[in-house]
Structure 1
């Protein structure tokens, strides 16, 4: 694989992984009756809503896929979304303790 094709592959793979991360975030929000767009806006108040986030919200299904809080936080942080992970942590702290 030459450098140009390798670079394209890496970029495409990262974008696909990022889409999965956003889909997990949206699904987690749906599972907990939270507004994904509002949480994103709280985390990144100076930014427009991400087109990837908008697409994930539009495509979100009605089925519930259980996503562990820690898994979501780990995935968000892995992609450098520390501000969003912080906002998610704040919401988790509001949940009733089991």
Structure 2
């Protein structure tokens, strides 16, 4: 029983952390006038729409919180979103050339 509760806790904690990662990504995109859904689809063209991402976009707070590009890239890579981190890096490079 205790083992089952620990597993449930770990799964719940991971899901909460994943939601935070998505919210950071959406906020970063908003701060840089980037469509988070379009960028996500560019990174993962074969995937169906990500419900958590759609929810985060709908519920995004209008308050702007500054998120550094380095922080976002670290968080994305921590969750194994390497393709999305690559797409974000491309956007960063495009903007630095302007």
> TM-score category by the smaller chain?
over 0.9
Residues 40, 49 of structure 1: 8 Å contact kept: no
1:34 is matched with which residue?
Answer: 34
TM-score, normalised to structure 2's length?
A: 0.96
Gaps of 5+ in 1: none
Deviation of 1:54 after TM superposition, in Å, equals: 0.6
Alpha-carbon distance between aligned partners in 2 of 1:49 and 1:25, rounded to the nearest angstrom: 16
Alpha-carbon distance between aligned partners in 1 of 2:49 and 2:60, rounded to the nearest angstrom: 16
Over the residues paired in the alignment, what is the CA RMSD in angstroms? 1.4
Moved over 4 A (4+): none
Deviation of 1:96 after TM superposition, in Å, equals: 3.4
For these two proteins, the number of residue pairs brought into alignment is 98
Aligned partner of residue 96 in structure 2, secondary structure: coil
TM-score, normalised to structure 1's length?
A: 0.96
Deviation of 1:63 after TM superposition, in Å, equals: 1.2
Gaps of 5+ in 2: none
1:19 is matched with which residue?
Answer: 19
